Amino acid sequence: MNLGVLAHVGPGTPTGEWFRRYWLVVGTTRDLHDIPQAIKVLGEELVFFRDPKGQLGLLGLHCPHRSSSLEYGDIEDRGIRCPYHGWLFDVSGQCLEQPAEPKGSVFHQKVRHLSYPVKELGGLIFAYMGPDRDDPPPLPKYSPLVNHEGQRSIEQTRYYDYNWFNYIENGADPVHFSILHRSNPNDGTWRSWFFNFHDIPYFDAVETPYGMKVISRKPGPTPDTEYIDEKSFAFPSILQIGDTEFTHFKKPASALMNGSHNEHFMFLTPDDDEHFTLFTVNYYTGPDPDFFEKLAPSRQLTTKEEKKEYDRRRYAPFRGSVRLEDMMTQGTQGLIGEREEHLATSDRGVILLRKIILNAIETVQRGGRPKGVLTQDQAEKVLKIDSFTGIRNRKE
């Protein structure tokens, strides 16, 4: 299959149909208030609301009558009412009332608006937009969303204006941590001394039951040990970067001896081919009760440099903020399949990622269950996405 299919997520496209087999994050509990929210997911315009009974509704944005936006609808006990002619819809999309039709009219019974199943887990709201809407696959029990012994924080939702795949692919490309995110070996943007320009760790890319991971290695403090950093991709579009403690805090190299206590999950949902939204969950099991307060300032998009008055480059300055550094590189790549590339040995993670996603897309095209869509049995277990930073015994 042509790589270019990966960029396109609209209805009927191979990648769009594949994405529609999974539950995707469409919002957070914290940000859903008492007014409807318009969102775009996989190229579809939708409206999202919670009725007073607490039920969540995700419906087509445009009213099926004459297409005004339900983003301005009134939320009522039984659902959402279009402000134009007052058609009322429940969370399943069923039209319940049409006030301007004659008394006794049953026309409303024939109108069922587009609606998708929605579920809430651990502060995130997931939707299933696939063909089995009456009997969707189970929502995976992602460990940071169901475990309670640690502390969980959901960061501010982030919005990007380039193609989803550029972001996802970057997670399978660990050498960029040592290069893009460095400034010098002792004080890079990525503050972990593990990733530095002068001593780039070797990495392996391996497929896992949930997706894949890249495992970077350096010799450990004793001959039978090694320093390890693992970063994961989980189907369909989740990245897990576990070493946030080292990335954002100045810590001595010796801190790596104890490993990281924070898991950093990014749930990516494509809005369309040019935009995506990122929902970030941190799950911390270390001893610091104020960990997230200390982490918060590092999330700002500030760099060390001032913009020069003659600098017209959109993403400049970017050095000094991991997020801006990523946005600059990923936002300038253009679409996969349309850009020219010369892949090198250091792209082995990217190559594996493309292969496993294309395989999953082909599985959907053949009518099968793609990797990452769980059976009921598989979904009983908590889903753990690997991430490890620290010391391990060397495996022969």
Q: Which residues contact ligand FES by CB under 6 A?
A: 63, 65-66, 68, 82, 84-87
Closest contact distance (angstroms) between CB of 2 and ligand FES is 41
Torsions phi, psi of 241, nearest 5?
A: -125, 105
Q: Is 258 helix (H, G, I), strand (E, B) or coil?
A: helix
CB 60 within 8 A of CB 38: no
Closest contact distance (angstroms) between CB of 81 and ligand FES is 8
Closest contact distance (angstroms) between CB of 11 and ligand FES is 23
CB 120 within 8 A of CB 100: no
User: CA angle at residue 18 from 13 to 19, to 5 degrees?
Assistant: 100
Q: Which is nearer to Fe ion, 177 or 279 (CB)?
A: 177
List the x/- string, 292-331, binding to Fe ion by CB under 5 A: ----------------------------------x-----
Q: Is 229 in the site for Fe ion (CB under 5 A)?
A: no
3-state secondary structure 345-372: HHHHHHHHHHHHHHHHHHHHHCCCCCCC
65 binds, among Fe ion, ligand FES, none (CB under 5 to 8 A by kind): ligand FES
Closest contact distance (angstroms) between CB of 88 and ligand FES is 9
Q: Is 82 helix (H, G, I), strand (E, B) or coil?
A: coil
339 binds, among Fe ion, ligand FES, none (CB under 5 to 8 A by kind): none
Nearest alpha carbon to residue 140 among 200, 210, 38, 224 = 210
Q: Which is nearer to ligand FES, 111 or 200 (CB)?
A: 111
Q: Which is nearer to ligand FES, 95 or 324 (CB)?
A: 95
Q: Which is nearer to ligand FES, 37 or 68 (CB)?
A: 68
Q: Is 169 in the site for Fe ion (CB under 5 A)?
A: no
User: CA angle at residue 64 from 61 to 66, to 5 degrees?
Assistant: 100
| Binding residues with Fe ion: total (CB under 5 A) | 1
The whole-angstrom separation of Cα 339 and Cα 333 is 7
68 binds, among ligand FES, Fe ion, none (CB under 5 to 8 A by kind): ligand FES
Q: Which is nearer to ligand FES, 60 or 122 (CB)?
A: 60
Q: Is 243 in the site for Fe ion (CB under 5 A)?
A: no
DSSP string, 188-256: -SS--TTS-TTSPPEEEEEE-SSEEEEEEEEE-SSTTEEEEEEEEEETTTEEEETTHHHHHS---GGGG
Beta bridge partners of 118: 127
Closest contact distance (angstroms) between CB of 113 and ligand FES is 10
Q: Is 168 helix (H, G, I), strand (E, B) or coil?
A: helix
23 binds, among ligand FES, Fe ion, none (CB under 5 to 8 A by kind): none
**Bridging pattern class, strands 88-89 and 79-81:** antiparallel
Q: What is the DSSP letter of 379?
A: H
Q: Which is nearer to Fe ion, 71 or 326 (CB)?
A: 326
Closest contact distance (angstroms) between CB of 149 and ligand FES is 48
326 binds, among ligand FES, Fe ion, none (CB under 5 to 8 A by kind): Fe ion
Q: Which is nearer to ligand FES, 84 or 292 (CB)?
A: 84
Which residues bind to Fe ion, rule: CB under 5 A?
326
